[in-house]
Structure 1
């Protein structure tokens, strides 16, 4: 079964302007634990002492999820992670030739020595620690560099190798830079050395392909996929938690593995506390995701909602709904009147037509029409026409 690592508290907080206080981080961790994510990446303690404090509190929260922290590949930073008492340590160091030459000014051998030293230190300090090594910007790095660094890291004590598409460069339709190719190749090459780490993927959304790349990695045999709530993260963010879970269920994962009814509360809380509105048309979690509007749609879903849906919203603890506006016809008004207990008005066809006309006029003024609050006012206005 696939594992989910949620990085809302680490990658998500790298979204410009986003900050979660320790108390808010604890609440987000509670939601993630209720949903059933396997690993909560709670931050990088070297960034700020408050982050270190929040990680420590989350570790002490008694969650079922493993609690992890992120670190540069150096002993001082790793020690700060270990001081938080986490179950999971993630260290990263790029082995792309460009970074080695232009940024670090070292060769591959020196980079691998550094990785081995840091991983060995962490493993010696905590034999039970789950350790991940990430060759940052993996999909733009020579495969031979990745294999060499990953092999050395696993032999030094790493449990997980993360393939990071740091710049959103990967493409599922390009055989040489697809996540499927990288996952399959890395697994096969490490297996030849009798090395069997879990393979994780971290997909950025710079070109809008993060979810597609993550599912491509899943098809290739990835063991762990990174996500954030709302797809938050650097630049265009990474894979969205809700979208990934729904697609994994569609691809055969057991929906009982996750408590999806907590997603609504999580997304509302994160959106409110990072001051980023959730777009209404956002897949799965947007307010319009299961809202039907056009007349032909509304008429059809009155008979069977799956005629115009491929997802059962009930697994999220919500129901399909419909909206009134310029596209509304008789069927939509009929359903709306029944919803608010005014089906008696359906006996007057002229009145219903008047209500439809008023709905369309109001919609043309750019107003949203809420069935529970706005429709009764339209009814009252329409009834005056007959008084």
Structure 2
């Protein structure tokens, strides 16, 4: 893996293209500022051709252009490109398909049109002094020899990077890495991973692409995006840090807050088991796990919650043991009579089943009082 890999966030572009998601001007600005404040330095700001509030938000983002590389996304249309540059973008992306099915069915053009259009638009943008990124969309169904030819042509035209977009997420890790490696071998141009999560492989494929020689990689907060979404920012940051020793300059303590901000903007709660940022990531219920955690926090966590701005929770529920019940009661100021913990455990399990969830502190105290009273009454009748 290269030492100079670069994370680029596309929450405000591909992320917002998730069906049913629509960010207002103020929401876009809030997410943008949170990304920058967390240390993200490459951000795909959106699609200027959308106009309206999107452009209003981008104008505000551009006020921080000295702090972050802002990329404006464009169709393969010269007027779109000219408009994006007129707004003040110094980095642009050109979205163009390379597979036969997308050329034929989506844009209704042929490979000759693609090669000439790509080269002309790259040259135009370079003449304006822009950093130029360009796509090979639907790379999973693009002929490999043609992909290499296309890479060579856009490199000759002056493109700074080639985005290898697995647009419908059909590649496995080996297949995606093969395409990245083929382009790296064929053309003198930086490559960028852009993986979709249709088979749950977006993070794995991105890691595979980076190991095959890609320099840039796309992520979104909470893995939002078209269909099944994209690689999650938090997961990629932690995976690269923990497994590959890569420090991307991200303030990981802000990951949970960033995730919560985007979840609220999408109107979709974070799944409790969402890796890195979900509320269950540092929650422990089963007797063996909680007993271990009470002894040493390293027993059942791969990293500390403080690293990502999370909070550890010991949960009392159906799978709990006596140790965590005693611990939680003592944390609540109760002097525990251990002789009634067995009865408490029975009642805790019944409560959890009946209420389909964890046992809150108020209910646990009541269960303990009931068990204690029952034991006292039984002792008095003996």
Note the alpha carbon deviations across 1:280-312, whole angstroms, 9 max, x for none: 111111111121111111111222222222233
State the Cα distance separating 1:59 from its structure 2 match.
Answer: 1.2
Instruction: Specify the SS of the correspondent of 2:244.
Output: coil
TM-score normalized by the length of structure 2:
0.91
Instruction: Specify the SS of the correspondent of 1:46.
Output: helix
Who is 1:170 aligned against? 171
Who is 2:14 aligned against? 11
Cα distance change of structure 1 residues 150 and 207 upon mapping to structure 2, 3 Å threshold: same
Q: Paired residue for 2:266, among 270, 274, 299?
A: 274
Quick one: distance in 1 between partners of 2:41 and 2:9? 8
Structure 2: state its 5+ residue gaps.
378-382
Q: Paired residue for 1:265, among 257, 260, 278?
A: 257
Q: Paired residue for 1:334, among 326, 333, 348?
A: 326
Instruction: Specify the SS of the correspondent of 2:164.
Output: strand
Instruction: Specify the SS of the correspondent of 2:344.
Output: helix
Quick one: distance in 1 between partners of 2:123 and 2:65? 28
Who is 1:95 aligned against? 98
Matched, 1:375 2:360: no
Note the alpha carbon deviations across 1:140-165, whole angstroms, 9 max, x for none: 10122222222222222211111100
Matched, 1:238 2:233: no
Is the CA contact (8 Å cut-off) linking 2:44 and 2:71 kept in structure 1? Answer: yes
Who is 1:361 aligned against? 350
Instruction: Specify the SS of the correspondent of 2:217.
Output: strand
Structure 1: state its 5+ residue gaps.
none
Q: Which moved more, 1:151-160 or 1:131-140?
A: 151-160
Is the CA contact (8 Å cut-off) linking 1:336 and 1:371 kept in structure 2? Answer: no
Who is 1:286 aligned against? 278
TM-score normalized by the length of structure 1:
0.90
Is the CA contact (8 Å cut-off) linking 1:96 and 1:145 kept in structure 2? Answer: no
Quick one: distance in 2 between partners of 1:256 and 1:172? 22
Who is 1:130 aligned against? 131
Who is 1:49 aligned against? 52
Is the CA contact (8 Å cut-off) linking 1:160 and 1:200 kept in structure 2? Answer: yes
Is the CA contact (8 Å cut-off) linking 2:285 and 2:317 kept in structure 1? Answer: yes
Is the CA contact (8 Å cut-off) linking 1:56 and 1:86 kept in structure 2? Answer: no
Quick one: distance in 1 between partners of 2:329 and 2:306? 23
Who is 1:68 aligned against? 71
Aligned length: 373
Quick one: distance in 2 between partners of 1:122 and 1:282? 40
Cα distance change of structure 1 residues 296 and 161 upon mapping to structure 2, 3 Å threshold: same
Instruction: Specify the SS of the correspondent of 2:364.
Output: helix
Note the alpha carbon deviations across 1:118-159, whole angstroms, 9 max, x for none: 12222222x1x2210001111210122222222222222211
State the Cα distance separating 1:379 from its structure 2 match.
Answer: 3.8
Is the CA contact (8 Å cut-off) linking 1:68 and 1:89 kept in structure 2? Answer: yes
Who is 1:149 aligned against? 150
Note the alpha carbon deviations across 1:46-90, whole angstroms, 9 max, x for none: 123221111111111356221112110111111221122223211
